[in-house]
């Protein structure tokens, strides 16, 4: 008795463990999704912030596009008006770098020292540093703000390889270019930084080629960044308590950006900004790398999520689920053991529960809470029943269910159940008859609302209305059914007679088609024989004339030896031409006789497949030559059959005619390929292919249908492929398959047995199929 209770308890424990594992999996999945959203947001915000600064850099470049000679005072005023410190924090300085040839270096330095447009007395202590000897120099001329960035004033970037490489790339491409990780000369803290620069060219100069851009270059405008300050504006400080963010510069994007992340190219690491202590290990699956393209360079943003409130598991929830599952399993086990003691009652309750469950599953039931004339909430069954989308009914007036009429749901009683039938209106105006059951949530306070259960009984109402009509019409339907049955039997007899007539007509048409095909062969052979016989007749006439001329010369008193040799040579040539022409004609006649005899007699005999193919192609040589169609044959000469050569030749003839009529339409040449391969010792596969226009799916589907043709009224009968199918699957006892696509040609694959039993050996079913 207790075994069922124990089993229920064990199953409950298993389900509880599964639910706990499922909750853990859901929490892990939600954690990964939150981590992915956080990393993508940080990467996107970083990209947007950098792009905003670069756009500001381009706006400063636009100032120089308007005026080639922007003074120090104008540059300073423009930068102050931008108010970048407040609006776009995170940068160290905005600079103008001028390109100065080595020959003009001293003149340039003197001009800078004497520039008092911004500072009274100029800059008498100005000097270029570091000192270097090179063809040209890139000197920081304007530096805003000057305070805190004095060390950068007069800096020669051409002497600093990272800066010089970025300048050369910017000059060549004309785009904004960033440097690699550098330590700013004006920053005593040693924090990593970088500089983004945009080239400035002479106004109106042509910039189509790299040489033109090099000749027109005036200098660069630049924004100097400290990466830590930049990222502090991008990443929310609370977010850094849950994940580590680091940025590595892995090189120029045009070079592939394939540097390995290391301490040397580390641009930013959030771990140094969040307190102190041991670095927490990343959680499984909470590691991501996102590439960013920053001023022609490739940055790799690395993210590691670690255990904490944002990315950790809620062990309290899992514990509660486990404890609750254990308690529920124990209660279910105890209840089952109790119920087992009342076996009869449990059986009745089980049957009743099954019936109620089946009733609920088969009916659409709407449940809603209505209060003060408003639908507070309802289930999806009510929305589906009334034709509303999910969430559309909640909050609306109850009158929408009655098309604005009086609200029947407001007539609540004193706590007793309410039950009545009511006609309601759906969202599309359709009327529904429903059975309505209601009960107050709180009998003492009707304002809390009433729960209504609404069941659609429209079909029942319609069935009741139609039941009477159905009962009266049933007898008439039975009489009509008997009459229709008699008519169907009569029609069946008529259709059987028509089918027999159609089969006879089809057999006659197939015979006519065969004779028409043979007639076409006769015409082709006659045309082909005309050439060798004409050549023979012409040569024989010429030979007769030569003999008469020889007799005349001989009668005139003698003939020279040279004339005799010439006469004999011409005679031998004429005999050779006559012999070759007549041999050609004899071969054609032999092939035609063999094909004609096989197709008309339709007798079973032993034959060589190569000979049948060769004879059939010989009879069509004229048509193939006129169509400029090349034929390639790939088959052994020792494939022997005991079958019906006439049917094989008829199949090949129909395939050749079909290809000449349909495959090469609109073309002046074509290629037919016939290949034979031995499948096994009893079966041979023959493939007939063309490189023509192919067939679409509709034509391929109907190709075996009698009288179906795409050349109706143009010489096509629609019986060619029907005859092929009947001959292959009937008399030859084989199979046929056609593969074709528009523009890719057609391939017909015939699988034929080497030995076919005689017709008298076939069963009655086989004979009917062969016919």
Residue 505: count other Cβ atoms within 10 Å of its Cβ.
Answer: 11
d(CA 556, CA 578): 30
Residue 621 — very low, low, confident or very high, per pLDDT cuts 50/70/90? confident
The DSSP H or E segment spanning 38 is: helix 3-66
Residue 360 — very low, low, confident or very high, per pLDDT cuts 50/70/90? very low
Distance set, CA 525 to CA 408, 617, 629, 669 (Å): 96, 11, 17, 22
Angle at the Cα of 107 from the Cα atoms of 106 and 111, rounded to 5 degrees? 115
Does residue 440 surpass a pLDDT of 80? yes
Comparing CA positions, the residue from 411, 412, 385, 408 lying closest to residue 398 is 408
Residue 361 — very low, low, confident or very high, per pLDDT cuts 50/70/90? very low
Name the DSSP class of 558: -
The more confident residue out of 196 and 567 is 196
Does residue 100 surpass a pLDDT of 90? yes
- pLDDT tens, position by position, 625-684: 888 899 999 999 889 999 988 888 889 988 998 888 888 887 888 999 999 999 998 999
Average pLDDT, the chain: 81
pLDDT at 762: 53
d(CA 155, CA 186): 11
Does residue 736 surpass a pLDDT of 90? yes
Region of poorest pLDDT, from 74-88, 124-138, 314-328, 596-610: 596-610
**Taking a C-beta distance cutoff of 8 angstroms, is the pair 113, 122 a contact?**
yes
- pLDDT tens, position by position, 164-219: 888 988 888 888 999 888 877 665 666 788 899 999 998 888 888 888 888 889 99
Does residue 359 surpass a pLDDT of 80? no
pLDDT at 675: 94
Region of poorest pLDDT, from 365-374, 376-385, 403-412, 600-609: 403-412
d(CA 471, CA 467): 6
d(CA 325, CA 19): 9
Does residue 764 surpass a pLDDT of 70? no
- pLDDT tens, position by position, 151-174: 888 889 888 888 888 898 888 888
Sign of CA dihedral 49, 179, 127, 142: negative
Comparing CA positions, the residue from 46, 53, 43, 38 lying closest to residue 234 is 46
The more confident residue out of 273 and 692 is 692
d(CA 114, CA 124): 7
Comparing CA positions, the residue from 289, 238, 245 lying closest to residue 268 is 245
**Taking a C-beta distance cutoff of 8 angstroms, is the pair 726, 733 a contact?**
no
- pLDDT tens, position by position, 303-350: 988 877 777 777 787 888 888 888 888 888 777 777 777 666 667 767
Question: Going by C-beta distance under 8 Å and a sequence separation of 6 or more, which residues neighbour residue 218?
Answer: 64, 68, 98, 99, 200, 201, 202
pLDDT at 597: 46
Residue range 684-708: mean pLDDT, rounded: 87
Percent of the chain with pLDDT over 70: 86
Rg (CA), the chain: 50
Does residue 389 surpass a pLDDT of 60? yes
pLDDT at 673: 95
Helices H, strands E: what count in the chain? 18, 22
- pLDDT tens, position by position, 487-541: 888 888 888 887 787 667 666 665 666 666 566 556 656 666 677 787 788 788 8
Half-sphere exposure (Cβ direction) of 532: Cα atoms closer than 13 Å: 19
Residue corresponding to tokens 């006649």? 589
pLDDT at 596: 53
Name the DSSP class of 517: H
Report the DSSP pairing between strands 629-634 and 670-678.
parallel
pLDDT at 574: 78
d(CA 24, CA 524): 84
Does residue 767 surpass a pLDDT of 50? no
CA end-to-end span of the chain = 74
The DSSP H or E segment spanning 698 is: helix 697-701
d(CA 280, CA 288): 16
Does residue 398 surpass a pLDDT of 70? yes
Does residue 414 surpass a pLDDT of 70? no
Helix (H, G, I), strand (E, B) or coil at 651: helix
Dihedrals φ, ψ of 638, to 5°? Answer: -115, 20
* Polymer length in residues for the chain: 771
Does residue 371 surpass a pLDDT of 70? yes
Residue 558: count other Cβ atoms within 10 Å of its Cβ.
Answer: 8
pLDDT at 751: 95
Q: What are the E-state strand segments in 426-572?
A: 431-440, 450-456
pLDDT at 514: 61
Dihedrals φ, ψ of 282, to 5°? Answer: -70, 145
- pLDDT tens, position by position, 219-263: 999 988 888 877 877 887 778 778 889 899 898 888 888 888 888
pLDDT at 279: 78
Does residue 409 surpass a pLDDT of 70? yes
Full-model pTM: 0.43
- pLDDT tens, position by position, 665-677: 878 889 999 999 9
Percent of the chain with pLDDT over 90: 12
Dihedral, 9, 11, 12, 13 alpha carbons, nearest 10: 90
């Amino acid at each position: 008795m207790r075994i069922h209770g124990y089993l229920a308890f064990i199953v409950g424990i298993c389900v509880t463990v599964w639910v706990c594992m499922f909750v853990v999996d859901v929490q892990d999945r939600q954690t990964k999704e939150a981590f992915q959203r956080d990393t993508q947001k940080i990467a996107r915000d970083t990209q947007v912030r950098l792009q905003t600064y670069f756009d500001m850099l381009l706006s400063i470049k636009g100032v120089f596009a308007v005026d080639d000679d922007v003074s120090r005072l104008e540059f300073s005023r423009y930068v102050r008006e931008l108010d970048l410190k407040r609006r776009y924090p995170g940068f160290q300085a905005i600079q103008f770098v001028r390109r100065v040839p080595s020959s003009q270096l001293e003149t340039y330095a003197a001009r800078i020292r004497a520039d008092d447009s911004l500072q009274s007395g100029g800059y008498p202590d100005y000097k270029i540093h570091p000192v270097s000897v090179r063809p040209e120099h890139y000197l920081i001329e304007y530096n805003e703000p000057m305070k805190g960035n004095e060390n950068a004033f007069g800096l020669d970037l051409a002497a600093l390889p990272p800066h010089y490489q970025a300048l050369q790339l910017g000059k060549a491409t004309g785009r904004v270019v960033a440097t690699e990780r550098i330590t700013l000369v004006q920053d005593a803290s040693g924090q990593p930084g970088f500089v983004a620069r945009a080239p400035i060219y002479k106004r109106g100069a042509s910039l189509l080629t790299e040489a033109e851009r090099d000749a027109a270059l005036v200098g660069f405008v630049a924004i100097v960044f400290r990466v830590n300050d930049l990222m502090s504006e991008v990443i929310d400080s609370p977010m850094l308590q849950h994940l580590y963010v680091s940025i590595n510069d892995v090189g120029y994007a045009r070079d592939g950006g394939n540097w390995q992340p290391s301490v040397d190219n580390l641009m930013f690491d959030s771990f140094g900004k969040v307190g102190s202590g041991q670095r927490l290990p990343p959680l499984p699956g909470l590691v991501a790398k996102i590439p960013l393209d920053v001023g022609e360079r490739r940055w790799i943003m690395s993210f590691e999520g670690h255990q904490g409130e944002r990315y950790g598991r809620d062990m309290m929830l899992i514990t509660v689920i486990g404890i609750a599952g254990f308690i529920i399993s124990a209660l279910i086990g105890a209840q089952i053991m109790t119920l087992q003691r009342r076996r009869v009652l449990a059986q009745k309750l089980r049957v009743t529960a099954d019936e109620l469950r089946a009733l609920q599953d088969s009916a659409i039931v709407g449940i809603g809470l209505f209060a003060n004339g408003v639908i507070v909430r309802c289930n999806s069954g009510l929305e589906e029943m009334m034709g509303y989308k999910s969430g559309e009914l909640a909050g609306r007036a109850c009158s929408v269910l009655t098309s604005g009429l009086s609200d029947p749901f407001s007539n609540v009683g004193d706590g007793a159940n309410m039950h009545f039938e009511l006609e309601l209106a759906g969202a599309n105006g359709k009327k529904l008859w429903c059975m309505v059951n209601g009960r107050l949530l709180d009998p003492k306070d009707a304002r809390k609302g009433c729960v209504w259960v609404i069941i659609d009984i429209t079909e029942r109402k319609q069935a009741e209305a139609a039941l009477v009509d159905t009962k009266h019409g049933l007898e008439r339907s039975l009489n009509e059914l008997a009459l229709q049955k008699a008519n169907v039997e009569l029609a069946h007899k008529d259709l059987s007679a028509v089918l027999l007539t159609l089969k006879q007509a089809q057999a006659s048409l197939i015979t006519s088609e065969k004779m028409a095909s043979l007639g076409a062969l006769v015409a082709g052979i006659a045309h082909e024989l005309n050439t060798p016989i004409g050549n023979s007749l012409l040569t024989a006439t010429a030979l007769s004339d030569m003999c008469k001329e020889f007799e005349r010369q001989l009668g005139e008193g003698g003939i020279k030896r040279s004339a005799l040799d010439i006469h004999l040579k011409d005679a031998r040539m004429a005999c050779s031409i006559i012999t070759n022409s007549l041999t050609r004609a004899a071969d054609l006649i032999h092939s035609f006789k063999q094909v004609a005899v096989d197709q008309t007699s339709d007798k079973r005999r032993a034959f060589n497949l190569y000979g049948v193919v060769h004879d059939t192609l010989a009879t069509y040589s004229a048509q193939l030559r006129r169509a400029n169609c090349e034929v390639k044959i790939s088959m052994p000469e020792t494939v022997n059959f005991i079958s019906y050569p006439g049917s094989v030749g008829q199949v090949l003839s129909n395939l050749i005619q079909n290809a000449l009529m349909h495959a090469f339409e609109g073309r002046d040449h074509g290629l037919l390929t016939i290949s034979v391969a031995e499948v096994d010792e009893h079966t041979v596969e023959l493939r007939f292919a063309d490189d023509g226009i192919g067939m679409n799916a509709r034509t391929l589907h109907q190709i075996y249908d009698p009288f179906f043709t795409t050349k109706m009224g143009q010489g096509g009968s629609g019986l060619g492929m029907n005859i092929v199918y009947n001959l292959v699957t009937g008399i030859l006892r084989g199979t046929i398959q056609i593969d074709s696509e528009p523009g890719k040609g057609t391939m017909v694959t015939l699988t034929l047995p080497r030995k076919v039993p005689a017709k008298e050996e076939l069963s009655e079913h086989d004979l009917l199929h062969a016919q």
